[in-house]
């Protein structure tokens, strides 16, 4: 009995010392042009539902008409926001940008090389440009 108890204690200490606890990295969401953070609520809610305890930052900066302001200004200001978030999470974050938010997110990653983003997801981002249906006929 004593030997089994001692083995259990040693096993617990081994697990605590040598095994990494798996947890999800925080997620930063960046909405698209002419929208608000509410447009990303479905994704935010799904992340929180499927991965309870995951911190989700759903930014509302440059919402609506202000999303038409100078894009470089948006990159700079939201880049500082991202840097503030990543300082709170040294283990890193995941970054998801939708539409124009994907373009801004990519520019932030390039303009702020000291970021701590582990995964970048460009959702419907026109990274290589966009074309209409008439162009696809030519291809």
CA-CA distance, 85 to 97, in Å (whole number)? 15
Element (H, E) at 3: helix 2-18
CA-CA distance, 128 to 66, in Å (whole number)? 24
What's this model's pTM, rounded to 2 decimal places? 0.77
pLDDT tens digits, one per residue of 38-86 = 999 999 999 999 999 999 999 999 999 999 999 999 999 999 999 999 9
Domains along the sequence of the chain with CATH: 25-127 (3.40.50.1820)
Residue 96 half-sphere exposure, CB side, CA atoms within 13 Å? 16
pLDDT tens digits, one per residue of 73-104 = 999 999 999 999 999 999 999 999 999 999 99
């Amino acid at each position: 009995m004593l030997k089994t108890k001692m083995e259990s204690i040693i096993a617990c200490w081994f697990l605590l010392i040598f095994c990494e606890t798996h947890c999800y990295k925080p997620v930063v969401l960046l909405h698209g042009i002419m929208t608000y953070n509410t447009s990303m609520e479905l994704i935010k809610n799904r992340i929180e539902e499927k991965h309870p305890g995951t911190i989700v930052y759903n930014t509302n900066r440059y919402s609506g008409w202000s999303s038409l302001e100078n894009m470089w200004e948006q990159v700079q200001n939201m880049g500082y926001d991202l840097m503030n978030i990543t300082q709170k999470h040294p283990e890193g974050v995941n970054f998801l940008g939708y539409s124009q938010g994907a373009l801004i997110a990519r520019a932030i990653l390039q303009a702020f090389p000291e970021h701590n983003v582990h995964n970048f997801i460009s959702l419907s981002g026109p990274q290589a440009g966009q074309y209409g249906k008439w162009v696809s006929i030519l291809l």
